[in-house]
Structure 1
Amino acid sequence: MDVSNLRNVLSLDSGTAALHPDEAVYESMLGSWEQQQRSRSLADATIESRTSTVRNFGEYAGTYPWQWQASDLEEYTSSMRSKRLALSTIRQRQGILQVFCNYLISPDYDWVEICESQFGNTPSQICLPWNTTKHVADYEGRPARRALTFDEIQTLFDYADSRVESSIREGRKGALAALRDAQMFKTAYAFGLRRAELRGLDLHDLHRNARVPEWERYAAMHVRWGKASKGSVPKRRTVLLVPELSWWIDGMRQWVDEGRALFSPGDLPALWPTERKTRVSLEYIDRRFTALRREAGLDPALTLHCLRHSYVTHLIEYGYADRFVQEQVGHQHSSTTAIYTSVSGDYKNRILADALGRFNTLELT
């Protein structure tokens, strides 16, 4: 319902009151705000998430937006902190409420006038500099989350392969799914992919590279579902396979040539099909990685996204230039790539030894 239609429903000019004017105004506020966001070409998922946050806060406060006060936000924030929500989540929700309040009090819209006329009260900005969470650090993720070491990567993938072998040997169901999952997680690491990027891969996203013709179609990966900027479509990039990770090719070739067809995907182009001829879900990817990590005896703090951190870290340790790594993972800013990097002590010692060697050579000359 837009603002012009709302006037008719409330009959503000004629003096006829709607049966539930408060609910009508509230729903129209949200609907009009959604239209404004669509006009900015924001994704439907973003709009739905924002609306859900506003509704959640309204339910917590127990009042309508023209009755909200700064103290309501402060109590809501305390509630979120008591639930141990991440700092970034708290700040995101506060930011959404701030944007919504700015929309309501904007002179470009009539919400202040409508609320004043109908309820004798007006909406205000409740998210203020002194009661909202500031962004004071580049990285606010959980400290326990980190890149996997080379040994941990080996342990994880060895265990994933062993599950396939044991299922086949014991004649148990699930061998094919285990093969798919093993190759799927190896692909996430070998190309530094995000979860949605991994899920969205199709067969035709496998590409050649003229520099390494012997790798055939397994030399590069075209990523079409990269993280989008606000108001834009998903970003695309092509990630090149690096020589140090070329061990990935044999397993991927086996999956494409033999394993995938056993799911009978038909016309489905997905690289990771299911028995139901659909793509694996994001929830399934998370669930399977968690199970593998736990069964392999690895640190519980490690998540699927840690494979992406590992990819960045290991490429830096292999000696690849920062700009190359940034392009590979699709980061707009080099500072973001730096956050992902957590090089090992051995690597830093090697860099220091090289620097000392160069320094000593200069002194001798």
Structure 2
Amino acid sequence: MVDSAFATDELVRARISDWQRELGSVRRLADNTLEAYGRDLDQFLQFLAGHTGGPVSLNTLKDLRGADVRAFMAQRRNESLGSRSLARVLSALKSFFRFLEREGVMSTEALNVIRTPKLPKSLPKALTVLEARDTISTTQDMEERPWVAARDMAVLSLCYGAGLRIAEALALTRADLETEVLRVTGKGGKTRMVPLIAAVRRSIDLYLKLCPFAPQPGEPLFRGVKGGVLSPRLIQLRVAQLRGALGLPPSATPHALRHSFATHLLGKGGDLRAIQELLGHASLSSTQIYTAVDTDRLLDSYRKAHPRG
């Protein structure tokens, strides 16, 4: 993952490998996060090698100063890296140095004096209940092949009716449908239990009835037209078609259906902790953002309807 052969010595490379193994096997970070962390650390070490004039050793890391980290962050900012990406870079560096400290290799205060970049406030873009329903039901009007229309409706039903990410929906197997509760594998390989409500079950049953292929219990449920595993890109393109047909905003994506799932549950009095479990969020703070979404929608309705609005 990290290619620091020319920027580091052998001892540092060995510690990087140990750190990556811990991230993958112990912390069970998602593959995309592991790749991003590795890339961020590699870029920092390449910078540090040029900054200090030689391969980075453990002694180089021990002598690290806050000014060195700031210079690297400034360089990345000048390369048009956004605040969210810079925050991830800093998180990757802190993760590596915390690992070195836990292992008794070294400790440094250099990263403790670096403030995390201020992130722009961004709320999830949820659809209205009517928009979410229309997005799913109109799918059959966009496709001449009944089984493909039923397939796409089933996937979108899982996004809205069960709060699944596309990748989670497409990873489901026939065996996952044997009970009334879905066992979903989410980010970092973490599993959660999600109720399979009747409307979603009916959409999946219709797809299975029409599908020309017969997935075995341990095989992926959703198939492409040639029988292979369905690509998430096809679902994204389908929703893009639906945006045009229904006049929906660009924020109407498959993932927006997951946001809508959480927002509408909360709006109906759903418990925040329960919604956290259903979404598979590791932290409640990730779920609490939907309280702001619901409040914004309430205030918007108030402004439109109230005589003094």
1:77–1:90 CA contact under 8 A, matched in 2: yes
**2:192 corresponds to which residue?**
236
Decide which structure has the larger Cα Rg and report it: 1
Within a 5 Å distance, the mapping from 1:201-350 to structure 2 comes to 201-207=172-178, 220-228=180-188, 233-241=189-197, 246-259=198-211, 262-265=212-215, 269-275=219-225, 277-282=227-232, 284-286=234-236, 288-290=238-240, 292-293=242-243, 296-331=246-281, 335-341=285-291, 342-343=293-294, 344-345=297-298
Aligned CA-pair RMSD = 3.9
The reply to whether residue 89 of structure 1 matches residue 49 of structure 2 is no
Percent identity of paired positions between Structure 1 and Structure 2: 22
Quote the offset at 1:90 in angstroms. Answer: 2.0
Question: What is the 5 A alignment of 1:1-365?
Answer: 22-35=8-21, 37=23, 40=26, 42-43=28-29, 45=31, 47-63=34-50, 64-65=55-56, 66=60, 70-81=66-77, 85=81, 87-104=83-100, 108-109=104-105, 126-129=110-113, 131-133=114-116, 142-143=122-123, 145-164=124-143, 167-168=144-145, 176-207=147-178, 220-228=180-188, 233-241=189-197, 246-259=198-211, 262-265=212-215, 269-275=219-225, 277-282=227-232, 284-286=234-236, 288-290=238-240, 292-293=242-243, 296-331=246-281, 335-341=285-291, 342-343=293-294, 344-345=297-298
TM-score, scaled relative to structure 2: 0.72
Between the aligned partners of 1:257 and 1:26, the Cα distance in structure 2 is 56
Kindly indicate whether the alpha-carbon contact (under 8 Å) linking 2:162 and 2:195 is maintained by their aligned counterparts in 1. yes
Unaligned runs of 5+ in 2: 1-5, 303-309
Q: Which of 1 and 2 has higher RCO (CA within 8 Å, sep 6+)?
A: 2
In the alignment, the residues of structure 2 paired with residue 91 and residue 159 of structure 1 have an alpha-carbon distance, to the nearest angstrom, of: 40
Change in Cα spacing, 1:87 to 1:204, as seen in structure 2 (3 Å) is same
Q: What SS is found at the alignment partner of 2:262?
A: helix
- Look up the SS of the partner of 2:112 in the other structure: coil
CA change 1:291–1:133 in 2 (3 A) is farther
Asked whether the 8 Å contact 1:264–1:277 carries over to 2, the reply is: no
TM-score (norm 1): 0.62
CA contact (8 A) 2:147 2:210 kept: no
Q: How many residues align?
A: 285
1:42 shift after superposition = 3.8
Is the Cα–Cα contact under 8 Å of residues 137 and 153 in structure 2 kept in the other structure?
no
What residue identity is the alignment partner of 2:264?
Answer: H
CA displacement at 1:53 relative to structure 2:
1.9
Alignment correspondent of 2:307? none
Per-residue CA distance 1:272-296 (angstroms, 9 max, x = gap): 1234544334555545544543554
When residues 205 and 181 of structure 1 are mapped into structure 2, their CA distance, relative to the original with a 3 A threshold, is same
